[in-house]
Each structure stands twice: as C-alpha cells, then as structure tokens.
Amino acid sequence: MPHILIAEDDPRITVFLEKGFNSRGFTTVIASDGLQALALAQANPFDLLILDLGLPKKDGLEVLEDLREQGQTLPIIILTARDDMHDKIAGLDGGADDYVTKPFRFEELLARVRVQLRHSTTAKVEETHILKAGGVTLNLRTRKATVNSCNVELPAREFTMAEIFFRQPGQVFSREQLLDRVWGYDYNPGSNIVDVYVGYLRKKLGSDLIETVRGMGYCLRP
C-alpha cells in the first residue's frame, strides 16, 4: 500500500487529496507547513511526497532543496498555484520529479503519482541487482563486472568471491569462510587458492579494493 506525504496548508485541498488517495488504497500523512514536511520526510519511509511551494514556516522549494542535498531519492511532485515558467524551472532543477499547477484534476494527478511510483519501484528492483564499490560495479543479473564503465571478465568463481565481498563491505572473511562459500568442500583447508583468487580480483578490479586483515582474512574496503 503506497504511503504518501502531502505537504499542503490549504485545508480544503488537503481534505480533497486525502479522500481521493484514501479511496484508491493509498495511506496519507498531512504536513501543514514546510518545517513539519521536512521533519516527516526525514524520519519516515514515504513512497512519494506531494509538495506545495507556498508553505508557511519554510517554503516548498527550500524543503525540496534540503531533501535533495541530504541525498533523499523520494519521488516528489510539486503541486502549486505558481504557474510561472521560472518557478517551474526552479522546481524541476531543484530536484522535483514532476510539477502540477492548481487548479488541477485529481485523475491527472493520480496518473502522475502512479507513474512516479512505477519508476521508483523499478529503480529499487534494479538496485537489488547492482552492487558498487568505488568505480567497480557488479551486475548480479547479468553476472558482469565493470571498472570505471569498462567491462572486465570475471570467471564464475571470481565473480562469486567478488559478490561475497561487495554484499558486505567492511566485513572480514576468513580464508576458511571464503573457501567454503566459493568452492564448498572441493579443496583442502590448507590450500592457498583463496589468496590466489584474491590476487586475481585485485589485478582486475583494483589493487587497493580488497584489504588484507592480518591474522584474520580479507575484506572489501568500506
């Protein structure tokens, strides 16, 4: 069930939006001023923010800029009476995903909300298949690796070992753990095959990417 934050200070529009979204299966939270909207967006995992620009206490553009500067990727649709082209450009340049002017038709706003939610869901799915560290990217779906956007060939066991490190950066893995996860019981615990494959990864992905933790094992530089 999508969870939407509505930052709007006009009670009539607030009620209209709340009833419309609730009747279509959305849950909503209302913020009546900019400071409240910013605090709620920072503290809660909303799926989307509908943001008025003319908010008391803190202007909507400032709320937008603060959220984007903090790294918030929350989809944001501006809903405002400001129809000047300069305001629209400022909103979109400031990080808004869409811009709707008042008066508006609810069905059109709803359609725009659904578009943003689809985009957001797709992005989240893609993120689960992509692991990154520095300039290195592992695509778990295609089993391909790139270094600074250049393709790098990683055979199956090298990719498996790299994936182990990339999934838990900073976690130290002993040689025995890596031997078990990558090769199972095919190799003698006294084998130096782990060190050899770490060497392969360093050569292909970067010499300082995987650190040696003396007496313990290896880890991906966090």
| DSSP-derived secondary structure letter, 173 | B
pLDDT recorded at residue 80: 93
Using a pLDDT cut of 90, give the percent of the chain over it: 60
Q: What is the pTM of this model?
A: 0.58
**36-47 pLDDT per residue, tens:** 999 999 888 899
pLDDT recorded at residue 140: 85
The stretch 173-199 carries a mean pLDDT of 82
Angle at 117 between CA 114 and CA 120, to 5 degrees: 155
- Give me the chain's average pLDDT, please: 89
pLDDT recorded at residue 191: 77
When mean pLDDT is compared across 3-17, 118-132, 140-154, the lowest value belongs to 118-132
DSSP string, 31-79: E-SHHHHHHHHHHS--SEEEE-SS-SSS-HHHHHHHHHHTT----EEEE
Fold of 130-220: Arc Repressor Mutant, subunit A (1.10.10)
pLDDT recorded at residue 120: 73
The domain locations on the chain are: 3-127, 130-220
Q: Are 217 and 173 in contact (CB under 8 A)?
A: yes
Which helix H or strand E contains 203, and what residues bound it? Answer: helix 193-205
**70-124 pLDDT per residue, tens:** 888 899 999 999 988 988 998 898 899 999 999 999 999 999 999 998 887 666 6
The stretch 172-184 carries a mean pLDDT of 85
Asked if the model's pLDDT at residue 126 lies above 60, the reply is no
The stretch 151-168 carries a mean pLDDT of 92
Higher pLDDT, 200 or 188: 200
The CATH superfamily of 3-127 is Response regulator (3.40.50.2300)
